[in-house]
Structures are given as structure tokens and as C-alpha cells.
Amino acid sequence: MSKIQVAIIGAGPSGLLLSQLLRLQGIESIVLERQTREYVEGRIRAGLLEWSTVDLLNEARVGARMMREGLAHDGLELAFDGRTHRIDLKKLTGHRMMVYGQTEVQKDLGDAHTASGAQIIWEAGNVAIHDITSHRPRVTYTRGAINHEIDCDFIAGCDGFHGISRQSIPKEYVTLHERTYPFGWIGIMANVPPVAGELIYVNHPRGFALCSMRSKSRSRYYLQCSLDDDIANWPDDRFWDELRGRLPNEHAGALITGPSIEKSIAPLRSFVAEPMRFGQLFLVGDAAHILPPTGAKGLNLAAADVRLLSEAILEYYRGGSETLLNDYSKQALARVWKATRFSWWFTALMHKFSDETFAHRIQLAELEYIAGSAAAAESFAENYVGLNFAQRIPRPQGLRLKSSI
Ligand code: FAD
Ligand code: DHB
């Protein structure tokens, strides 16, 4: 049996960012990941970072390439009723957003781990956690045919929605809140210049569309599709025609198409598990909560959890206090629920739920309101860029990692 301070389950962005921040503070961890590194780095997911996430990646010393290659955006466009309205995020909130793919964040974190010789066990099988409510929890896993056991102080469950961490908590100690949506998103990636310089969120009678990007020569587009849709029903030509049909004329004419390099369908779901702590197990990121992607909050919430937990673990090892550890779930959930509300609201505003004309007219009225009211635009913008840490619920003074937020 080996002994480590923190065992981290899952080498997605949450797990690797947590281990990197802990390592920089001299705290030892081991990361157990069931997939290969190539698989984890190849998954195409989020693309938009709040500036608080940008700051955290820089504090973790994995932000250099992001600062060179990422695209900082000052605003976005809302398209509805055949027209567009620009939301000036920078002017309204003082904050920008960063376009930088999750795949790149994952690679930067992976490279930092390789460079430091940090312990990541790829292809760890049968990961299981034991004695969570004792002060000596254990994690077991297999690698090849060999069984391993790790003794630790804390376990960070960073293993996503389908992971084992949340499922290891007895059902009577966790409340699950869930909302599923009657549609999904089909997304494609293509090596073509984006249709516009900023993201465009489209409300259209045929359904939602989103124009995003990964660089000035790589576009990421999404269309609302039905839940039982199949990729096979969406050859590239159909996707481009449908996207063109949902864009306002000014953009439809400028759309450059090309062969897709990736295409996938994702269901939309809101899910929150509370509390986010059970004994010495702390849930982080998608293991505890997922959101419909409309507000681009998933990865950013995961990073915010990591910041809180790393601060709490640091306080424990520096000063022996468990105040921040005891506070973790409450602090994290306060932010999670605000982001969950925003994602739910923005999803409801932009998607087609039925053929009912009343519902569509109400959406248009609300979009007109955002376009015409400084107060409504500011409220939208401050949620979109991320409710910052100044708004976290009051708590006792504790040790904080250096932060520019
Ligand atoms: P994950 O990235 O899920 O990482 C969890 C890791 O744990 C994985 O590597 C997994 O292999 C590993 N694991 C699971 N079970 C075990 C086990 N038993 N043992 C060991 N390891 C295990 N967010 C946005 O903001 N915008 C988007 O456009 C967007 N698109 C998305 C599209 C898809 C298809 C998905 C699934 C998510 C998307 N998200 C998006 C959400 C965003 O990608 C997540 O919020 C983010 O990945 C959360 O990071 P995480 O590290 O908490 O979880
Ligand atoms: C992306 C995804 C989102 O859900 C979003 O709101 C903005 C951007 C993206 O993948 O680029």
C-alpha cells in the first residue's frame, strides 16, 4: 500500500488542474484515469473560458500557450427575428471571454504534468473508494493484472458525470436535482474561417444555432436537433444548409463551408448533486453538476470548484484548519446554482420547444428587451462572463491562493 496526501479520480480538466495547483504548493497527489492520455486529449468539448478560468490557468502556470494562441473576445451577437444585436461584454462588465478549446487546455495540463514528473496512472481499471467517512480513506485500482491500493487524506472525485465518485456516496446522503431537455445539439468542427469575428447565438423558428470557433481558421458550429437524431442523418451538406437557413441574411451570405473534421450529437441536461462532500470525498466539476451548454458554463464551473478545493486543502496543510474544507460544498453550490439558473434561462430563451407561436413571440419579446434595455443587457452580460468571486457568500477569513479576480 502506498500513501499520498490527495488521491484524484479522473484526469479531465478538473483532475489535472487540481493536481497541478496542489503540486505548486508542495502537496502530493496521484491522478487515476481510466482512459488513455490520447483519448482524453482528443475529446472535443468546450471552447469558451471565463476570465476567472484564464486567471486560474495562469496561476497554475499552464496558461502561456493560451495567452499566445487564444482569442480574447469583447462581445457576442444575439440573432433573432432576422436581425442581430451585439452585447458588448467588455463595456458592460469590464470582462472579456477567451476562445481556447478544452482539448488545448487538456494538452497544456498534460504537458505540465509530464514536465514535472507528476503521477498520473492512465488506464487505471476498477477504481474504487473505501472508508470515505474515516480519516484514512483508501482508493484501489488495477493496472494490467496488478491490484494497487493507496492510503490518503482526501479523495477528489473529478471523474465526470458517469464516474464512480458520486455513486460511492450512499443514496440517502445525496440529493440529485435533474432536468432533461427534449432536444440535443449537433456540433461540427471544420477548418474554415468563422462566419464572424465573435460568437453568434441564434434564436430561429426552426431551432437554435450557435456559431463559435477555435481559431481564425477553425470553426465550431452547433444546431439544435431532435433527441433521437442520428449523425448518419446529418451529412455535411445538410448541416451547412440548415445552418445557413437559421442565420440572418448578413451572416448567411458570408458562411464559408468545408468538410467537417468532427461531428457529434450531445443531449442537453441540467444536473446538480448536493452536498458536494461526503466524509473525505469531495466532488468536483461534472461529477457534481452538469449544465446545458448554452451558457458555456460547464468547464468554467469545474475550474471554479478546483479553485475552492485547492484553497481549502492548502489551508488544511498549511494551518491545520478545516474551515474551508467544511465550507467547500456550500461555497461551490452557491455558484453552481447561479450558473445553473443562467444556463436554464438562456436555453429556454434560445431554443424551440414546440410549434406554439405564443412561446416564440415571448422569446422575441425578451430578446427585444435585452437589445433595448441597458439593465437587461448588463444582467445578461454579467452572468455570461461569470459571476465573480466578489459575489461569493460570506465566509470566515481563510488562506487564499493569489487571485486577480
Ligand atoms: P470530465 O471532462 O468529464 O473528466 C472526467 C474524467 O474522469 C474523464 O477523463 C473520465 O475518463 C474519467 N473517469 C470517469 N470515470 C472514471 C473512473 N471510474 N475511474 C477513473 N477515471 C474515470 N462545456 C462547456 O462549457 N461548453 C461546451 O460546449 C461543452 N460541450 C460539451 C460536450 C460534451 C459531449 C460533454 C460531455 C461536455 C461538454 N461540456 C461543455 C462540459 C465540459 O466539457 C465539462 O464541464 C468539463 O469537461 C468538466 O470537466 P471534468 O474534469 O469535471 O469532467
Ligand atoms: C462553445 C460552446 C458553447 O456551449 C458556447 O456557449 C460557446 C462556445 C464552443 O464549443 O465553442
Catalytic residue status for 216: no
CA of 161 to the centre of ligand 1 (A): 7
Q: Which ligand is nearest to the CA of 42?
A: 1
Is the bond into 137 cis (omega within 30 degrees of 0)? no
How many angstroms does the Cα of residue 45 sit away from the middle of ligand 2? 8
Among the listed residues 89, 110, 146, 143, the one whose alpha carbon sits nearest the alpha carbon of residue 37: 110
Residue of 325, 1, 5 lying closest to 152 (CA atoms): 5
pLDDT value, residue 399: 42
Residue 344: Cβ within 10 Å count: 17
Q: Give the three cell numbers for residue 338.
A: 447561479
Query: What tens-digit pLDDT sequence spans the chain (405 residues)?
Result: 789 999 999 999 999 999 999 999 999 999 999 999 999 999 999 999 999 999 999 999 999 999 999 999 999 999 999 999 999 999 999 999 999 999 999 999 999 999 998 999 999 999 999 999 999 999 999 999 999 999 999 999 999 999 999 999 999 999 999 999 999 999 999 999 999 999 999 999 999 999 999 999 999 999 999 999 999 999 999 999 999 999 999 999 999 999 999 999 999 999 999 999 999 999 999 999 999 999 999 999 999 999 999 999 999 999 989 999 999 999 999 999 999 999 999 999 999 999 999 999 999 999 999 999 999 999 999 999 998 644 444 444 444 444 333
Distance, CA 160 to ligand 1 centroid (Å)? 5
Closest Cα partner for 262 from 108, 99, 45, 57? 45
Catalytic residue (choose from 293, 316, 328, 352): 293
Per-residue confidence (pLDDT) for residue 387, from 0 to 100: 86
Pick the residue whose CA is nearest to atom 7 on ligand 2. Answer: 296
pLDDT at 78: 98
Residues 155-177: b if buried by 16+ CB within 10 A, e if exposed:
bbbbbbeebbbbebbeeeebeee
In 3-state terms the chain splits into helix, strand, coil percentages (rounded to 5) of 40, 30, 30
pLDDT of res. 2: 85
pLDDT recorded at residue 388: 65
- Report residues whose beta carbon is within 6 angstroms of any ligand 2 atom: 46-48, 199, 210, 212, 220, 293-296
Instruction: Give catalytic status of residue 338 as yes or no.
Output: no
Q: Which of 264, 256, 301, 309 shows the shortest CA–CA distance to 282?
A: 309
